[in-house]
């Protein structure tokens, strides 16, 4: 199976895991240029008020272009507490949030310096909890077209989505808003628990 090449993402959308499930091991690009308004530092969850975007603030760079591996997390605005409160409020009534919350809370208590480290560790944790047994490695240089690698880096752009399983799964606010596709993978994990890989 081809290795799947992805961009680093914060609590990645389900489309990332759909791609991961179809391939072999996972390679995360760390030598691409950081772009704002992508899943690199934001995720989308379902809340009582509809979809909510959670954005990690990043430190400003001295140069107009910055490699993803060099992007530092900013402590601006108590974002860790705000993100955890948003996740807790959105998913406390989901079937599996109570079961998994202790696996996620430490990420919002510890300070990570680099965004890529935070993202990678969170993605590994989701994969571990969901029973997705693939290895994640970081690139050693910028990846260009290579045999044996399926490039899915475009999935970092919110407007670009891998076709998803058409069958909706249970969501806390489904009756209010209908099924909402391609949210952060934590939506699938907190709502479906061990059925996560079966859905993929």
Q: What is the C-alpha R_g of the chain?
A: 16
φ, ψ (nearest 5 deg) of residue 46: -100, 125
What's the chain's length in residues?
A: 200
- Identify the three-state secondary structure at position 91: helix
Is the separation of the CB atoms in 38 and 7 below 8 Å?
A: yes
What is the chain's mean pLDDT, rounded? 92
Q: How far apart are CA 173 and CA 195, in angstroms?
A: 19
**Tell me, what's the pLDDT at 145?**
74
How is the chain split into domains, by residue range?
A: 3-199
The three-point CA angle 93-49-18 to 5° equals 70
Q: How many Å separate Cα 135 from the centre of its chain? A: 16
Residue 161 binned pLDDT confidence (cut-offs 50, 70, 90): low
User: In sequence order, which residues have a C-beta less than 8 Å from that of residue 144 and are 6 or more positions away?
Assistant: none
- Which residue is listed with tokens 């609590």? 11
List pLDDT tens digits, range 55-105.
999 998 888 899 999 999 998 889 999 999 999 999 999 999 999 999 999
pTM: 0.93
List pLDDT tens digits, range 126-158.
999 999 999 999 999 999 877 889 999 998 888
């Amino acid at each position: 199976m081809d290795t799947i090449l992805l961009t680093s993402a914060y609590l990645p959308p389900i489309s990332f895991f759909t791609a991961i499930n179809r391939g072999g091991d996972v390679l995360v690009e760390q030598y691409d240029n950081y772009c704002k308004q992508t899943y690199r530092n934001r995720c989308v969850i379902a809340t009582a008020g509809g979809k909510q975007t959670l954005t990690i603030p990043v430190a400003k760079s001295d140069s107009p272009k910055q490699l993803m591996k060099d992007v530092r997390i900013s402590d601006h605005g108590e974002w860790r507490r705000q993100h955890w409160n948003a996740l807790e409020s959105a998913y406390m009534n989901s079937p599996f949030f109570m079961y998994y919350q202790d696996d996620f809370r430490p990420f919002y208590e510890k300070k990570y310096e680099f965004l890529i480290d935070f993202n990678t560790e969170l993605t590994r944790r989701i994969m571990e909890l969901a029973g997705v047994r693939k290895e994640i490695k970081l690139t050693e240089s910028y990846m260009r077209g290579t045999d044996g690698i399926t490039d899915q880096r475009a999935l970092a752009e919110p407007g670009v989505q891998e076709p998803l399983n058409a069958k909706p799964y249970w969501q806390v606010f489904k009756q209010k808003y209908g099924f909402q596709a391609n949210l952060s993978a934590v939506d699938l994990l907190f709502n479906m628990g061990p059925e996560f890989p079966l859905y993929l």
